[in-house]
Amino acid sequence: MKAFIQSIVDNREGCVNGKDGLQAELIAHVAHRSLTEGRPVRIGEVESE
């Protein structure tokens, strides 16, 4: 949290950016879908939606 705040104070990009956040969200979505459907789900299946 300190690094995040410091990046704002210094007006610089933090160590984690929006693209990293989107990738994490995609992985969580795929994991949830896999659990719900009871089968392995490939990231490519979800990216194309």
| Sequence ranges of the domains in the chain | 17-49
Q: What dihedral do alpha carbons 15, 18, 21, 23 form, nearest 10°? A: -110
* Beta carbons within 10 angstroms of residue 7's beta carbon: 14
- Say what the pLDDT of residue 32 is: 96
Q: Residue 4 corresponds to which tokens in the numbers above?
A: 């995040």
pTM score, whole prediction = 0.69
Mean pLDDT for back-to-back runs of 10 residues, the chain (49 residues): 90 88 94 97 87
Q: Residue 48 corresponds to which tokens in the numbers above?
A: 């194309």
Chain centroid, CA 34 distance in Å: 16
- Say what the pLDDT of residue 14 is: 84
Q: How far is CA 6 from CA 23, 25, 42, in A?
A: 24, 24, 37
- Say what the pLDDT of residue 47 is: 80
- Say what the pLDDT of residue 46 is: 87
